[in-house]
Structure formats: structure tokens, C-alpha cells
Amino acid sequence: MGTDISTVIAQEQSGVEYKDENGNVKDIFDILKENGVNYIRVRVWNNPYDNNGHGYGAGNSDIEKAIEIGKRATAHGMRLLVDFHYSDFWADPGRQVPPKDWINMNVSEKSEALYQYTKTSLQKIKAAGVDVGMVQVGNETTSSGIAGEAGEERYQLFAAGAKAVREVDATILIAFHFTNPDKTETILNYAKGLSDHHIDYDVFATSYYSFWHGNLDNLTSVLKTVTEKYGKKTLVAETSYAYTLEDGDGQQNVIRTQNQMLVGGYPDSVQGQSHALRDVIDAANKASALGIFYWEPAWTPVSSKGKEVNTPIWEKYGSGWASSAAIGYDPNVNQENYGGSEWDNQALFDFTGKALPSLATFKYVYTGLNTNLKYDKNEEAELQESLLSNSSFEEEDLSDYTFNDFIKRRQDTPKTGKYAMNFYNGANDYTTGIERKITLPAGTYQFSAQIQGGDTNGSEDIYAFARAEAVNVQSEKVKLAGWSNWQTAKLNFTLTKETEVTLGVFVKANKGSWGTIDDLLLTREGVDKTKLGTALSSAKEKLAETMHYTKDSLANLKEQVEEAQAILQKDDATQAEIDAECEALQTAIQALVPLENQSLSNVQHEDVKKTKENSNNKEQKGENSHAGLTDSDSSNKNGKSSQTNRNKETLPTTSDKKLAKTKKLLPSTGTSMSYLAGIGVVFLSVFVAVISKKNNQ
């Protein structure tokens, strides 16, 4: 159970104090350990400073910061995962900018530089006495590659990094980190590529955020496939969820709308956050993964006084997502968007630094807490699903769209999600826009787009349009009103027969003007999926209450959930279909049959007893249960298994004493723990409600 707290030093330097659930100020490492965290992840940037020594922000996460965090983690009995980005700032699917010192290097030179940097840095960390358990060679190395190398050349750099780690300490696990597990074929191709190029590594890691990356069953399937086909361990290297849609520091958050919450599948509440975390842990456990890391749970506001007061603090200590110093190095940072935390509403501490009850999820997935569940459902959001795929441009594949060179997909001021289409031309007046074709059945439709921007001279011509046979409609013209002042371009049109329609946004603007297009929403009149989405979220929560209802009634509900998900994703669903499915889902919830004639404790006792008996039987047959973050491959080539053998297969250590300590830190995710993780939500869910009530008294 791990957390990435790479910004914690900058946060503390900015005056942030962390408190336990009772409001007592404590060392954050104490708080994390008390709540079941046993691994710390820290990112490392080569040189996150400009020529004047001003930090780029987001923790100014250089090797010295990694050592400081690592020493504190080790002192608290936690291990360290070192996440080398091989950049001077953010490295992710949207950009993999090489370090400034590497920009003019060819692949061979860059490979040698990466090898030397990895080896020297890791030696420095270990010399400081840090207990390093795992090293990531690159961060989310998907479409943009690693250190600027996105093709086959990436594997040369992968090999160089892995070689450096092995030479420093052969017992350290080597991980490669990808993302977008919802793109199953793509992510599995990376696993194949590592195998085809004979890359020496131990762990295949992925990020998983439910508001971007699809369903958990698919995540489990991807992780299982990697283990079964390539014999590698797996890991969820990043996950998180919002407990509120409020902003705490004046910097707009990445996750901020009910639309995103509906896609994510849980309410924006402490309870919803807890359930989201629990379910990711469960999905990883089902795949016998090593574990999960929660991304930046301590990135809280430096104060509640707003952007004007906070900006000098962010600039001085690097506690915001990016400082002004990063402009010019990172293509996604500009004068309009640099600033504070964009993740404060996804932290596991509230805006004052006090631990949320959801932080205890890490420990209560194993033991649970017996109390009554109170679940706060999503409020019904005014949301309709767009009939257009990739309507918010989160997917990298834009082949359905047509656009010119003046508009690009970037992580720069999106309305929702991480990406949007940004337009700009600093040389001349220009014309641009984006459009796509879609074939629609007869009916009445509404099409809208979200647009923001500025630096116009008042002559801009910007509007949404719909064109087809006998259709030529455009919205009222939009006037750009400045950064983050979103305008809606909206129109309606009617088709009398099935027709191919071209939908888009037209932009004609003066030199130097700029803007963003996001969230293309196409809906069919009279079709509203809001209630179905809300009912689906409620049903998913009920499915988790495995100790409260009979298996048959839960199985019936699961079947209805699957049907509801299919209707929700169906582009041409009628309102009658939607309403019928919503009613069927609500009926299935009402039809849940409570367990009777036996207490929960008796049921739990008998089921745990059976689980243990089954586990013992499996061990006698040579099956091997998988352990936590420090366990090695669960396969046994000799077809034999015992507790002694599993101990020997744990991450190599220097003494039996250290081995025992490691196993104590990371509970087994074998058969019995799989059961406990499965039932922990019953007790965990209600624990959150009770603690929340207690804190409000």
C-alpha cells in the first residue's frame, strides 16, 4: 500500500501542517504509517530549475528531495520507489521533454547519459541509507516515449536504465510504467515490445484513474494477461479520486465537474473516495498485483486565501503544479495557467491538512470496521452523454476529426479532463477550427461546444456549425472573454432521415489571439441518461455490500448493472429503453434479499473458515499465493509450494530479520487476503460515515 508524496517537502516549506483524524499535528510519515501505508513513491527530475536557479515547481523534485523523502520513509519502516522521469519537469503521455543537457544528443549519447545518470543517482540515494525497493525507468512512457524517444529507440533507453539499476543492486525491482489500460491492445503491445526486445525488468506498472481509464474488470484483465503471458509482476503505480468538487487554493482543479464524477462512477464525497480506492485495491488484488500507489494524497492548499496570496508562496517553494520558471521548457506551461495545486480536491487530507477518514482505507481493507453504512449518493447531475466519441479529446487518436496546423491537442486549460484543442497563431491573422462527420438517424439534435480564449481585437468570427443535406445551421457567434471564461456555442437541427452530418467549430481570429475548444456535446432531443447514471452509481455501491445480501439477489443486480452500462454507452438508445433500464435497475436494488437467520459475524466466521480451508487445500496441491509489493513472481517452476518457499521468493534481503520486517509491512494478497479485501468494504464504508459524523460533532 503506497503513496506518492513527491511535493511534501515543498508543502512543508510553504507552511502546510498535517494532522491526524483527531486534529493533532504530526509528522505526515507517522500519519501515513498509522493508516496502513508502507511504501513511498517519489519522482525524480534531472534539473528542475532555470538558469537563474528558480524551481519549476511541483515539489522541485530533484535527487536531493528524493533523498530527503527517502530517508524519512526509511526511518518510518517504509520502502522507497524511485520514479525517474528522465526530464527536467513533467513526463507523461502528453510530453516527454528531454533534460536540457540531453536535448542535442543522439539516441546513443542519450542512452549512455541515461545509464550514467540512473546509476549515479541510485548510488547516491543508497549511500544516504535509503531502503530502495523499486525503481521506475521512466514515467507513463506511452505515446510520447521516454526522454523524447518515442519509437523503437525507446527500448534502447529502457535497456540502459535497467542495466544501471541491476548493476547498483540486483535485489531492487525494475519497473516500467505505462498508462491508459482502457486501450487494451495498445498497453499490451508495450508488454510485448519489452519481451521482444529482451528488456530485463520485473514489474509492469500502469496508472489507473476511473474518470479516464475505463472499468476495473478491464484493469484486472490487463494485469492478469501481463503476468500469465510474460511472467511479470504488475502494479497500479498511480490512482486517486475526488472527495469534493470545491477548489481550495484558487487554482482550477483537473477534476471539477459532475460529468467527470459520473464517468468516474463514485460520488464526490469522502465515502465515494474511499470506495473508489478500495475498488482499485480489490481489482489489483484479483490480478495478484503487487499493490497500488495513491498519487499525491498530501498536495493540499498552502492556504485558503486565494490565488493572489498563494502565488508568491508557490513561486518561492515550488508547491504549485508549475511555476513561471517552467515557461519555455514545458510546452504545457504558460503565463495564464501556471500556479497552485490542481489536485487538492483529490488529496486524502482536507484543505486544512487534516486526515480524511478515507485515508484509513489502506488499513481497513484488511480488517474492516463493524458499523452501519451511510452512503451519500451522487446528486443528479445535469448531464447527457455525448453521441460523439472522444468528445473531450482525452483519447490520443483524433483520426475522426479534421483540423489544421493552428490547432493542437494539449494539456492546456481544458474545460474537463486533461486535454483540449488549443488554437493560436502569433505570426498572422488566421482561420482554423475542428470538425468531424457522423451518421445519425432521423430526429432532432442539439450540438454544443465549450470555448474560451483571449487577446482578440473584437473582430473574431467563432461559432459552432452543423452541415448536411438540407441542413446548414450555425450557432450565435462567440466572443472570447479571457482565460477560463468559458462560452457555450449551441445549435439545434432536425433530420428527417438517416443522414451524414458534419459538426464542428469555426474560428477566424487576429494574430496573437488564442483559445481552447473542449467538450463537444451532441445529444438527441428527449433522451436523458442522467437518472440512469445516478442509479448505476448507487447499484455499484450495493454490489460491494457482499455481506449484507444473498448471492442470488446480488447476482441479479450485477446482471442489471451490466445491462445498464451497455444502455448508457449506446449512442442511439431511446428514452423508453433508458427509462426501462433505470426502472429495472432500481427494482433489482429493491429486490436485494438481506441475509437472515444468522448474524454477520457467524457468516464471516464460516466464510473465513472455508476460505482458509480452501487456501490450505490449494497449498497442498502446489498452488502458490501471491504476496504484496515485495513478493516476487507467484509462479513455481517445480510445481511445489509452501510457506517456506514463498518466504524465499520474497524480495531478496540481507538478513532473515529484514525479510520478516518486509513481510510484516506488506500483507499477503493471497487467497485469504483476497477474501478480506472483498469484505472489507462493508466495514470500511461505514467507518468513514461514523468518523465523519464524529468529526462534525
Are residues 94 and 16 part of one domain?
A: yes
pTM > 0.85: yes or no: no
Average pLDDT over residues 609-619: 42
The better pLDDT of the pair 398, 384 is held by 398
For residue 478, the enclosing domain spans: 401-524
- DSSP letter string, 163-174: HHHHHH-TTSEE
- DSSP letter string, 251-298: SPPSS--HHHHHHHTS-SSHHHHHHHHHHHHHHHHHTT---EEEE-TT
The pLDDT tens digits of the residues spanning 86-100 come to 999 999 998 999 999
> Please, what is the average pLDDT of the chain?
84
Are residues 428 and 331 part of one domain?
A: no
| Confidence at 62, pLDDT banded by 50, 70, 90 | very high
The pLDDT tens digits of the residues spanning 172-226 come to 999 999 999 999 999 999 999 999 999 999 999 999 999 999 999 999 999 999 9
Identity of the highest mean pLDDT range in 43-47, 482-486, 560-564, 573-577: 43-47
| Confidence at 474, pLDDT banded by 50, 70, 90 | very high
d(CA 9, CA 68): 8
Are residues 627 and 563 part of one domain?
A: no
Cβ-Cβ contacts under 8 Å for 191 (sequence gap 6 or more): 204, 225, 226, 229, 230, 232
For residue 611, pLDDT beyond 80: no
The pLDDT tens digits of the residues spanning 229-243 come to 999 999 999 999 999
d(CA 628, CA 625): 10
Span of 353-357, 478-482, 688-692 with lowest mean pLDDT: 688-692
For residue 675, pLDDT beyond 50: no
For residue 545, pLDDT beyond 90: no
544 within a domain of the structure (yes/no):
no
Are residues 659 and 639 part of one domain?
A: yes
Q: What 3-state class would DSSP assign to 157?
A: helix
| Confidence at 384, pLDDT banded by 50, 70, 90 | low
Q: What 3-state class would DSSP assign to 100?
A: helix
The pLDDT tens digits of the residues spanning 338-354 come to 999 999 999 999 999 99
The better pLDDT of the pair 543, 72 is held by 72
d(CA 436, CA 254): 26
For residue 373, pLDDT beyond 50: no
Average pLDDT over residues 473-484: 89
For residue 639, pLDDT beyond 70: no
Q: What domain count does the chain have?
A: 4
Pair type for strands 482-495 and 443-454: antiparallel
Q: What 3-state class would DSSP assign to 16?
A: coil
| Confidence at 382, pLDDT banded by 50, 70, 90 | very low
d(CA 166, CA 125): 15
418 within a domain of the structure (yes/no):
yes
396 within a domain of the structure (yes/no):
no
Are residues 460 and 351 part of one domain?
A: no
| Confidence at 527, pLDDT banded by 50, 70, 90 | low
| Confidence at 369, pLDDT banded by 50, 70, 90 | low
Max Cα distance, the chain (Å): 79
Q: Which of 524, 541, 566 is a domain's end point?
A: 524
| Confidence at 684, pLDDT banded by 50, 70, 90 | low
Length of the chain: 697
Percent of the chain with pLDDT over 70: 82
For residue 653, pLDDT beyond 60: no
| Confidence at 417, pLDDT banded by 50, 70, 90 | confident
Are residues 28 and 146 part of one domain?
A: yes
HSE, side-chain direction, 13 A CA sphere, residue 77: 17
Are residues 8 and 117 part of one domain?
A: yes
The pLDDT tens digits of the residues spanning 128-183 come to 999 999 999 999 999 899 999 998 999 999 999 999 999 999 999 999 999 999 99
Closest to 269 measured CA to CA, from 283, 258, 284, 253: 258
Residue 192 CB: number of other CB atoms within 10 A?
A: 12
The pLDDT tens digits of the residues spanning 259-317 come to 888 888 888 999 899 999 999 999 999 999 999 999 999 999 999 899 999 999 999 99
Are residues 262 and 180 part of one domain?
A: yes
The better pLDDT of the pair 678, 339 is held by 339
534 within a domain of the structure (yes/no):
no
Whole-number pLDDT of residue 490 = 95
Check if the beta carbon of residue 601 is closer than 8 Å to that of residue 679.
no
Whole-number pLDDT of residue 368 = 67
Are residues 329 and 306 part of one domain?
A: yes
**Domain harbouring 431, CATH code:** 2.60.120.260
Average pLDDT over residues 317-337: 96
**Domain harbouring 165, CATH code:** 3.20.20.80
79 within a domain of the structure (yes/no):
yes
391 within a domain of the structure (yes/no):
no
For residue 485, pLDDT beyond 90: no
269 within a domain of the structure (yes/no):
yes
d(CA 151, CA 157): 11
HSE, side-chain direction, 13 A CA sphere, residue 468: 22
Check if the beta carbon of residue 181 is closer than 8 Å to that of residue 133.
no
500 within a domain of the structure (yes/no):
yes
- DSSP letter string, 545-595: -TTTB-HHHHHHHHHHHHHHHHHHH-TT--HHHHHHHHHHHHHHHHT--B-
Check if the beta carbon of residue 251 is closer than 8 Å to that of residue 220.
no
Residues that are catalytic? 140, 238
Average pLDDT over residues 402-411: 89
Are residues 134 and 240 part of one domain?
A: yes
Whole-number pLDDT of residue 596 = 64
Check if the beta carbon of residue 450 is closer than 8 Å to that of residue 486.
yes
| Confidence at 606, pLDDT banded by 50, 70, 90 | very low
Are residues 304 and 261 part of one domain?
A: yes
Are residues 290 and 147 part of one domain?
A: yes
d(CA 175, CA 169): 14
